[in-house]
């Protein structure tokens, strides 16, 4: 949860991952200074400036942070100016959470107001709970009340993020229906304590700027269907995997280099054709079709761009510390096993078939694919 203070330089240097509003503080400051457009009430930046923050602006030296469907970003920003919440759905690893973080950082200056949906999420996690020591000593009071992230967002006029909303039981999801319709939260315990009539209570009215960004991985196990009433309160946007091969190669290479630089790693030689081999493998196993148009069995495992970056990073670390500092298909093959073995035993058979047919055939014409095939052969026996 955000404290509203900036981290010290020493803390920032040691942090594994900073919130976007801290990581890109300089970019946000430049955008704010150059922002001459009208801003919706409660927003830190105008809609155009929010778009520039997410998609980049060379003139202001603002980096691009979300890659994929640019019109989706425009639609998301427009949705958050209205009365409906924003629901980002799609395959795992398609940067839904990243996009929600960036939107919250640019619009509210705070991406930390987050409810994490799980099977154990309760109504208290969404609304408020109590400090029971103070509750017993003083009775219901503002001092004893523990506000949820959603409560804080309503009070401050900010965005709140609801991660993995469909992992919550339907009756917990539906707590949001009245909150999103009426934009107010009843606190009946405070009303009774102040001598108001039965059924009355304190009310928290959402300030302008408040809205909800929810994310959902609809294909995951443990997912609960949303009610029609709750769906009507959201505008749904689907975040799709990247399909352009050259674009995904550039993205994986850029993010890999960023990870290596952030980790303070010594230089690693990362050949583009090795990353291209990795991206080709992920795209084919994701789509269930080779580049030549041959149908293959797709995997149950998540073969997202984010996973490809994780594989490339782990392989680069292996190459740096154990194999001479040059990334080769050998390290890629070794790290790929950890992705495939997460979900389904059938995936092992499908990957073995992929290597025995597609990769083996390519290895007859290309040395990199031959190395990839030979390195993987021992892993998938």
- Any idea of the CA torsion for 186, 188, 193, 195, to the nearest 10 degrees? 90
- Using DSSP's 3-state secondary structure scheme, residue 130 falls into strand
Q: Print burial letters for 145-159: b (CB count within 10 Å at least 16), e (below 16).
A: bebbbbbbbbebbbb
Query: Does residue 2 or residue 91 have the better pLDDT?
Result: 91
Question: What's the number of CA atoms in the CB half-sphere (13 Å) around residue 72?
Answer: 20
For 131, 150, 188, 318, the CA distances from 147, given in Å and listed in that order, are 10, 8, 14, 45
Phi, psi of 249 (to 5 degrees): -60, -45
Residue range 51-73: mean pLDDT, rounded: 94
Is 158 in contact with 44 (CB distance < 8 Å)? Answer: no
Q: pLDDT tens, 370-380?
A: 999 999 887 76
pLDDT of residue 4: 46
The helix/strand/coil state of 251 is helix
Cα of 3 vs its chain's centroid, Å: 21
Q: Distance between CA atoms of 202 and 194, rounded to whole angstroms?
A: 9
Start-to-end Cα distance in the chain = 47
User: Parallel, antiparallel, or unpaired for β 128-130 and 202-205?
Assistant: unpaired
Task: For 342-380, write each residue's pLDDT tens digit.
Answer: 667 788 888 889 999 999 999 999 999 999 999 988 776
* Rounded to 5°, angle at Cα 137 from 131 and 142: 50
Show the DSSP H helices in the chain as ranges. Answer: 9-14, 20-23, 25-34, 47-55, 70-81, 96-108, 123-126, 132-138, 149-156, 170-173, 175-182, 188-193, 228-231, 245-262, 272-287, 305-322, 329-340, 345-354, 360-363, 367-377
197 band by pLDDT with thresholds 50, 70 and 90: very low
Record the pTM: 0.85
Residue 72: exposed, middle, or buried by beta-carbon count in 10 A (0-12, 13-18, 19+)? middle
Is pLDDT at 200 greater than 60 in this prediction? Answer: no
Q: What is the mean predicted confidence (pLDDT) over 238-257?
A: 91
Task: Please say whether the beta carbons of 149 and 115 come within 8 A.
Answer: yes
**Using 50, 70 and 90 to split pLDDT, how confident is the model at 1?**
very low
Lowest mean pLDDT of 81-85, 198-202, 318-322, name the range. 198-202
8 pLDDT band, cuts 50/70/90, is: low
pLDDT at 80 over 90: yes
CA separation, residue 204 to residues 150, 250, 252, 274, 279 (Å): 11, 47, 45, 56, 49
In the block, residue with structure tokens 């509210």: 108
209: left (phi over 0), alpha (psi -120 to 50) or beta: left
Q: Angle formed by the axes of helices 245-262 and 272-287, to 10°?
A: 120
- Alpha-carbon separation of residue 157 from 61, 107, 188, 208 (angstroms): 29, 10, 22, 5
3 pLDDT tier (thresholds 50, 70, 90): very low
Phi, psi angles (nearest 5°) of residue 30: -65, -40
Query: CB–CB of 289/295 below 8 Å?
Result: yes
């Amino acid at each position: 949860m955000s404290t509203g203070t900036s981290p010290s330089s020493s803390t920032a240097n040691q942090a594994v991952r900073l919130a976007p509003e801290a990581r890109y503080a300089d970019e946000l400051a430049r955008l704010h200074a150059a922002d001459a457009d009208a801003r919706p009430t409660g927003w830190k930046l105008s809609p155009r400036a929010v778009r520039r923050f997410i998609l980049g602006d060379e003139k202001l030296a603002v980096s691009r942070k979300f890659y994929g469907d640019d019109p989706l970003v425009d639609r998301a920003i427009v949705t958050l100016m209205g009365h409906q919440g924003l629901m980002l759905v799609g395959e795992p690893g398609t940067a839904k959470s990243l996009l929600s973080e960036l939107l919250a950082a640019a619009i509210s200056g705070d991406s930390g107001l987050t409810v994490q949906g799980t099977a154990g999420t309760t109504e208290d996690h969404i609304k408020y709970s109590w400090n029971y020591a103070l509750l017993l000593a003083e009775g219901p009071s503002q001092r004893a009340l523990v506000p949820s992230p959603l409560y804080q967002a309503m009070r401050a006029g900010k965005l709140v993020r609801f991660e993995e909303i469909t992992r919550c039981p339907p009756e917990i999801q539906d707590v949001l229906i009245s909150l999103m319709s009426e934009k107010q939260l009843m606190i009946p315990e405070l009303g009774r304590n102040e001598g108001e009539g039965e059924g009355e209570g304190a009310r928290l009215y959402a300030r302008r700027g408040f809205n909800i960004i929810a994310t959902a991985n609809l294909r995951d196990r443990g997912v609960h269907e949303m009610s029609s009433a709750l769906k009507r309160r959201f505008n749904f946007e689907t975040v799709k995997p990247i399909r352009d091969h050259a674009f995904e190669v550039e993205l994986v290479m850029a993010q890999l280099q960023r990870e290596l630089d952030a980790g303070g790693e010594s230089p690693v030689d990362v050949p583009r054709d090795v990353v291209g081999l990795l991206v080709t493998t992920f795209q084919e196993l994701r789509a269930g079709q080779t580049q030549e148009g041959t149908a293959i069995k797709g995997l149950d495992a998540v073969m997202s761009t984010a996973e490809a970056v994780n594989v490339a990073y782990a392989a680069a670390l292996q190459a740096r510390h154990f194999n001479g500092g040059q990334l080769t298909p050998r390290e890629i093959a070794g790290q790929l096993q950890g992705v495939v073995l997460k979900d389904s035993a059938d995936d092992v058979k499908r990957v073995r078939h992929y290597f025995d047919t597609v990769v083996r055939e390519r290895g007859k014409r290309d040395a990199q694919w031959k190395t990839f095939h030979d390195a993987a052969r021992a892993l998938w026996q």
